[in-house]
Amino acid sequence: MRELRGQVAVITGGGSGIGAALSHACAERGMRVAVADVEESAAESVAEALRIRGAEAMACQVDVRSRDAVEELAGAVDSKFGQTHLLCNNAGVMVTRPLLELEEKDWEWSLSVNLLGVIHAVSAFLPGMIARGEAGHVVNTASIVGLAAISQGGLGAYTTTKFALVGFSEYLREELKAAGAPIGVSVVCPGAVTTRIAESERNRPDELQTGPAPAHSESDPRVATIPGRQSPEEVAASILTGVEEDDTWILTHPEMKPLVEARTRALLAAFDVAAARRPA
């Protein structure tokens, strides 16, 4: 089991929801925590709460869409805490519009935060983590819709980014293993969690606006009817256990298994179809 005490954690999107709960859970494990978020005041208030409970914490304003900003974050964490051991790529946004109504700017925002943001952080932090030779871990937060598409709620762009993130994470894990680097990679695929994800539009930059934001709230029936909503604290606890056990997939909502089972069955059946259609 991986020992986290005394190590350094960086959490993007640490100012709210799962990231804030993860920041607290890391502090509880005795880690030093860098809380990074595009919302400076949110990052600062989580870091302050950690310091009040006796943890070492720093707040960093960062927009993960910017490679330069993420490089600066890596430098700031290195100067203050030294080597990063646990990189949690948690920042994410959810655009909710039917696929055929999505505009170029919707795609740009979704892809630049949910996918490029993770790529930026991996590029900024991994070389240093590998060079220092100490054990480390990367956690990428995807979603259950990264394992099975649910065609409701206008989640087409979100689903696209999360499927890509699952593939990116699996590939990164294998590549690091093949290189003999002592860095694990996990991808987290939660179902519904009680956070502010439905209010993602609050962080959409002016230049990527596409008109009035659709109204989404806790009472949104598409969200409310998904069974097994968990608290961010429950999900954060599962994530850290998964890191300690070096799990490839950290699945938090067992009630979602039938969705993935159905997709996997259909996928395997398609191989049988291919075999049957192959000319003798």
Ligand X SMILES: NC(=O)c1ccc[n+]([C@@H]2O[C@H](COP(=O)([O-])OP(=O)(O)OC[C@H]3O[C@@H](n4cnc5c(N)ncnc54)[C@H](O)[C@@H]3O)[C@@H](O)[C@H]2O)c1
Instruction: Summarize as ranges the residues that interact with ligand X (CB under 6 A).
Output: 12-13, 15-19, 37-39, 42, 62-65, 90-93, 113, 141, 143, 190, 192-193, 195-197, 200, 203
- Is 171 an annotated catalytic residue? no
- Separation CA 65–CA 49 (nearest Å): 26
Q: Give the distance, in angstroms, between the CA of residue 110 and the centroid of all CA atoms in the same chain.
A: 13
Least distance to ligand X, CB of residue 275, Å = 35
Closer CB to ligand X, 87 or 93, in the complex: 93
Closer CB to ligand X, 135 or 150, in the complex: 150
Closer CB to ligand X, 109 or 265, in the complex: 109
148-170 CB burial, b ≥16 within 10 A, e <16: beeeebbbbbbbbbbbbbbebbe
Least distance to ligand X, CB of residue 43, Å = 8
Least distance to ligand X, CB of residue 144, Å = 6
Strand, coil or helix: 1: coil
- Separation CA 119–CA 161 (nearest Å): 12
Closer CB to ligand X, 130 or 170, in the complex: 170
Stated as kind and residue range, the H or E segment containing 17 is: helix 17-28
Q: Per the residue annotation, which of 158, 187, 216, 251 is the catalytic one? A: 158
Residues, the chain? 280
Stated as kind and residue range, the H or E segment containing 70 is: helix 67-81
Which residues are part of the catalytic machinery? 158
